[in-house]
Amino acid sequence: MIIVFKANASQKQKAQVEDYLIKHDFEYHPSQGKEQAIYGIIGDTASLSPEFFKVFDGVSDAFRVQESYKRCSRAFHPLNSKVKINNITVGGNAIAVIAGPCSVENHDMLNTISKNVVKMGANMIRGGAFKPRSSPYAFQGLGEEGLVYLREAGDKYGAPVVTEIMAISDIPLFEKYVDVIQVGARNMQNFALLKELANLNKAILLKRGISATIEEWLNSAEYLASKGNQNIILCERGIRTFEKSTRFTLDLSSVPVIKKKSHLPIIVDPSHPMGQRDLVIPMARAAIAAGADGIMVEVHNKPDEALSDGPQSLYPKQFKDLMKEIEIIAGALGKTIAKS
């Protein structure tokens, strides 16, 4: 339920509402809008009538949140949320750019690529240490060794590191080495994993499932938010459709739809859905133009030798050119590229 206070509501009037909610074991979450204060109410509100709260002095309106994703809805939190990761803020006027190889293959390659992408303007480093692969015979990643290399690169080049988690048992390792924990498309509805991650004081990058609707995606985010973790970043990475000219169909319409339905920041990964590096670049530009809070792209210094996703990985020169282009697009929208 949402309680909206009048613009001139006093603290005493708000306290009267707060006292009632506390006395009856309801949890409330204040949110200060541009003109009005809004309280989001959590608990068994079935017995409460919105009309009941309208009689309180200082209250202008009260209504139920219709969406099942209460805490992640725009009604619950009217202003855009911002997720701070070290010196980077995702969700403001500065665009987040996450770049790096699909997989952490060895120490030297990660160091070389990380140095290049940060020098060219990336503000976070990505790389897979644990790789979910369709084939059990494909390269599965270096595990903890890969996390160590990521942490070293992040510290050396002053950029937060992003990598994907696959198992609850690996959470202690991710708490130790990782700044942003990515939940991949295959695990978007791994509710047991989401419940455990919700207890962490870490940013969570939640990718959209391969066939997930936007509502299902936001409900997965709600699993994180329901336990109090507000450091949630959504990531559009394409959905499976009948189209075969690309690996997946990149649903850029999800960006403005999410902005309308939710306060959570959203970035776009054009690498995985496009599957071909020449297609990644225009879709990365389009993502910024659509209003995304950032992009995540794969970059490799020798993509023909990459152990995974070489065809979609940009050469460093391509990434450098892309950074110049998205800076222009961001500028036209009154935004900048975040500096790590």
DSSP class of 228: T
Q: For residues 154 and 162, give the distance between their C-alpha atoms in angstroms, rounded to a whole number.
A: 9
**β-strand partners of 31:** 38
Backbone angles phi, psi at 204, to 5 degrees: -115, 125
Fold of 2-63: Alpha-Beta Plaits (3.30.70)
User: 204 and 179 in contact (C-beta within 8 Å)?
Assistant: no
**147 and 103 Cβ atoms separated by less than 8 Å:** no
Mean pLDDT of 45-72: 85
Per-domain boundaries in the chain: 2-63, 83-337
Largest CA distance in the chain: 69
The CATH class that applies to domain 83-337 reads alpha beta
Average pLDDT of the chain, as a whole number: 93
Higher pLDDT, residue 81 or 40:
81
> What is the residue whose two structure tokens read 């080495």?
177
Q: pLDDT-derived band of residue 85, with 50, 70 and 90 as boundaries? A: very high
Strands (E), 81-216: 83-85, 88-90, 94-100, 124-126, 161-165, 180-183, 203-207
Is residue 35's pLDDT more than 80? no
Residue 41's pLDDT is what? 84
User: Strands, DSSP E only, in the chain?
Assistant: 2-5, 27-32, 37-42, 59-63, 83-85, 88-90, 94-100, 124-126, 161-165, 180-183, 203-207, 232-236, 266-268, 294-298, 336-337
Q: What is the pLDDT of residues 186-241, one digit of tens each?
A: 999 999 999 999 999 999 999 999 999 999 999 999 999 988 898 999 999 999 99
Task: State yes or no: pLDDT of 137 exceeds 80.
Answer: no
Q: Give the pair of three-digit tokens for residue 174.
A: 């991710």
Burial of 121 (0-12, 13-18, 19+ CB in 10 A): buried
Q: What is the pLDDT of residue 76?
A: 85
pLDDT for residue 100: 98
What is this structure's pTM?
A: 0.89
**Model pLDDT for residues 244-257, shown as the tens digit of each residue:** 999 999 999 999 99
- Burial-class residue 294 by CB neighbours within 10 Å (0-12, 13-18, 19+): buried
pLDDT on residue 65: 80
The 10 Å CB-count burial string (b at 16+, else e) for 143-181 is: eeebbbbbbbbbeebebbbbbbbbeeebbebbeebbbbb
Query: In the chain, pLDDT over 90 holds for what percent of residues?
Result: 73
Helix 277-289, helix 316-332: angle, nearest 10: 20
Backbone φ/ψ region at 101: left (φ over 0), alpha (ψ -120 to 50), beta: beta
Low-confidence winner among 53-62, 159-168, 229-238, 274-283 (lowest mean pLDDT): 53-62
